[in-house]
Amino acid sequence: MSDVIADLKQQGTQQLVHALRDRLARSQQRVEDVPAPQPEGRLSRMVGMTLEAEGIRLPVGGRAAIHTTNGTLLGAEVVGFQGERTFLMPEGKLEGLAPGARIEPLEQARRIPVGPALLGRVIDALGKPLDGGGPIRTAELAPIEGRPMNPLGRVPVTEPLDVGIRALNGLLSVGRGQRIGLFAGSGVGKSVLLGMMTRHTAADVIVVGLIGERGREVNEFIYDILDEESRQRTVVVAVPADQSPLLRQHGAWVSTTIAESFRDRGLNVLLLMDSLTRFAQGAREIAMAIGEPPATKGYSASVFARLPQLVERAGNGDRGGGSITAFYTVLAEGDDQNDPIVDSARAILDGHVVLAREIAETGRYPAIDVGASVSRVMSAVVTPEHQKAAFRFRNLMSTYARNRDLIAVGAYRKGADPALDEAVAMNPRLEAYLAQGRLDKASFEDSRRQLFELLGLATGR
Ligand SMILES: Nc1ncnc2c1ncn2[C@@H]1O[C@H](COP(=O)(O)OP(=O)(O)O)[C@@H](O)[C@H]1O
Ligand SMILES: [Mg+2]
């Protein structure tokens, strides 16, 4: 203002008024150009995993850093608010948090490294390397929420994808860009099957999201199940069960974001997410922590909204772009058909493959229950002859299954029912078709040819 006063001495009052107005207008403009600094806040309450802050004004999804008594910063994300109070979920361990701790707002969207620099690497939900392979050198960053895609711009699923598994290639053919559920209880061969697909699938890049598994299982998958060759074209995102629910949820988004970055380069990506159930449970924990009322089996409504939001990001891209074919494992214990996540997944995915414990117990792997599984895109990706052969196979399986008890107690007599006789005679060969060693590959062509041969059909297309 002192120079304004100097002006006053030099100029008349009229001119002064003009000069003042001009200066005011210019300074206002400058204030509008610069984003208002976000006010800092204080930690006021902590219940379980939920932190309550006062003073910050961040939107849901916004990030902040909390000053701990250890002198470190703990990242946290806004998950809700009530009046002046903001609810946050921590990204890391809840250590060194004291009442009144300073909370600094951070730059908006979280970005993670994406693209080829990640191939062969294992990272966590924050995009940090876990494999001791040094820092990930790339300038390519993407926000984990993804970007909306016009559903009408998507290329429809029309081409089969060779996944190297005979039962899938032959009977439950997978299409490029399809999203499939893999429903199974624990210990029935999910991880082994996913591992076989990483080795044998005709995809350019494989992204594996290991969400909410035990640490031991994560290690086993990376070091025993993946082999050296497939690891070179694979990116693993690992978020074990002991990590915060926020990170378990983010792990699924991060894997999807990485898959999208390769799809946008025109590549064909296989995305394997193990498991969708743990992602949903992470979302459930967050919803419960901020007081959202549960709807079905403790899952609140927002959880069911998150599932389609996640799986809609996979699939085919625009014309000329690449694809994301995705498998989401869903924990289905016993015959619990009422599990709301199983129901919801079945509704939003383009098919499901069921692994059955009874089958695993007989020692036939992969323990795929063909009758209970369906690929909704099969008719669009295979020839009518192939579809017909698969239908015939299913028919023989179900005839046998309907009479299994009769056969088991020795009440089956040959000659009474020709259809059953055929199903019984064929059964060992059908079972042999479905069985596949963990190191064996069955190409799409071989799977189809063997199916036709088995059923005594001309080896057509
Ligand atoms: N294709 C296969 N061939 C032989 N054994 C298998 C096969 N798939 C699974 N198994 C057996 O089943 C066990 C459990 O498999 P796993 O994939 O770890 O189950 P899940 O991931 O569903 O808990 C394996 O340790 C292995 O003994
Ligand atoms: Mg497993």
The reported pTM is 0.88
CA of 438, closest atom in ligand 1? 1
41-106 belongs to which CATH class? mainly beta
Query: Residue 182 has what pLDDT?
Result: 97
CA of 367, closest atom in ligand 1? 8
386-455 topology per CATH: Substrate Binding Domain Of Dnak; Chain:A; Domain 2 (1.20.1270)
Task: Tell me the pLDDT band of 452, cut-offs 50, 70 and 90.
Answer: very high
Query: Residue 215 has what pLDDT?
Result: 85
CA of 184, closest atom in ligand 1? 22
pLDDT over threshold 70, residue 99:
yes
Q: Which residue's CA is the closest to the ligand 1 atom numbered 26? A: 189
Query: Residue 8 has what pLDDT?
Result: 43
320 CA distance to ligand 2 middle (Å): 35
> Percentage of the chain with pLDDT > 90?
67
Quote the tokens at residue 198.
């990483």
Of the ligands numbered here, which is closest to the C-alpha atom of 199?
1
Of the ligands numbered here, which is closest to the C-alpha atom of 185?
1
Quote the tokens at residue 112.
């993670």
Residues with CB under 6 A from ligand 1: 184, 186-192, 365-366, 437-438
Q: Give the tens place of pLDDT for each residue, 310-320.
A: 999 999 988 77
Q: Which residue's CA is the closest to the ligand 1 atom numbered 9? A: 189
Which H or E element spans position 425? Answer: helix 418-434
Dihedral of CA atoms 182, 185, 188, 193 in degrees, nearest 10, equals: 20
SS3 assignment, position 246: helix
More confident residue, 133 or 27: 133
C-alpha span between 257 and 279 (Å, rounded): 15
Q: Give the tens place of pLDDT for each residue, 124-137.
A: 999 999 998 899 99
Mutate which of 200, 278, 365, 368 for ligand 1? The one with the most ligand atoms within 8 Å of its CB, which is 365
327 CA distance to ligand 1 middle (Å): 17
Q: Are 281 and 248 in contact (CB under 8 A)?
A: yes
Q: Which residue's CA is the closest to the ligand 1 atom numbered 11? A: 189
Cβ burial, residue 446 (10 Å; 0-12/13-18/19+) = middle
Q: What is the CATH number assigned to the segment(s) 111-379?
A: 3.40.50.12240
C-alpha span between 186 and 331 (Å, rounded): 7
**Partners of 75 in the beta sheet?**
65
Task: Tell me the pLDDT band of 210, cut-offs 50, 70 and 90.
Answer: very high
Query: Residue 254 has what pLDDT?
Result: 97
pLDDT over threshold 50, residue 4:
no
Helices (H) and strands (E) in the chain, counts: 16, 19
SS3 assignment, position 6: helix
Q: Are 239 and 210 in contact (CB under 8 A)?
A: yes
Exposure on the CB side of residue 215, measured as CA atoms within 13 A: 3
CA of 192, closest atom in ligand 1? 17
74 CA distance to ligand 1 middle (Å): 39
Query: Residue 228 has what pLDDT?
Result: 86
C-alpha span between 366 and 373 (Å, rounded): 13
Instruction: List the single range of 83-97, 151-165, 328-342, 391-405 with lowest mean pLDDT.
Output: 328-342
Query: Residue 369 has what pLDDT?
Result: 96
Average pLDDT over residues 281-286: 91
Query: Residue 132 has what pLDDT?
Result: 87
Query: Residue 101 has what pLDDT?
Result: 96
227 CA distance to ligand 2 middle (Å): 16
- Angstrom CA distances, 407 to 42, 79, 411, 414, stand at 71, 57, 6, 10
Query: In terms of C-beta distances under 8 Å and separation of at least 24 residues, what long-range contacts does 429-435 make, across chains too?
Result: 429/454, 430/393, 430/396, 430/397, 430/400, 430/454, 431/364, 433/166, 433/167, 433/170, 433/393, 434/166, 434/167, 434/364, 434/366, 434/368, 434/370, 435/364, 435/365
Task: Tell me the pLDDT band of 307, cut-offs 50, 70 and 90.
Answer: very high
Average pLDDT over residues 27-33: 53
Average pLDDT over residues 156-175: 97
Q: Which residue's CA is the closest to the ligand 1 atom numbered 24? A: 189
Cβ atoms within 10 A of the Cβ of 309, count?
A: 13
Query: Residue 323 has what pLDDT?
Result: 95
285: phi > 0 → left, psi -120 to 50 → alpha, else beta; which?
A: alpha
Of the ligands numbered here, which is closest to the C-alpha atom of 182?
1
Helix axes 245-263, 276-289, angle to 10 degrees: 130
- Mean confidence (pLDDT) of the chain: 89
Average pLDDT over residues 183-206: 94
Q: Give the tens place of pLDDT for each residue, 255-283.
A: 999 999 999 999 999 999 999 999 999 99
279 CA distance to ligand 1 middle (Å): 22
Q: Which residue's CA is the closest to the ligand 1 atom numbered 5? A: 365
Reference 380, options 458, 316, 435, 455; nearest CA is 316
Query: Residue 23 has what pLDDT?
Result: 64
Quote the tokens at residue 172.
């439950």
Alpha-carbon Rg for the chain, nearest whole angstrom, is 28
Quote the tokens at residue 62.
């916004």
Query: Residue 339 has what pLDDT?
Result: 84
**Partners of 178 in the beta sheet?**
none
Task: Tell me the pLDDT band of 162, cut-offs 50, 70 and 90.
Answer: very high
Of the ligands numbered here, which is closest to the C-alpha atom of 190?
1
Q: Which residue's CA is the closest to the ligand 1 atom numbered 12? A: 189
Of the ligands numbered here, which is closest to the C-alpha atom of 186?
1
461 CA distance to ligand 2 middle (Å): 36
pLDDT over threshold 80, residue 334:
no
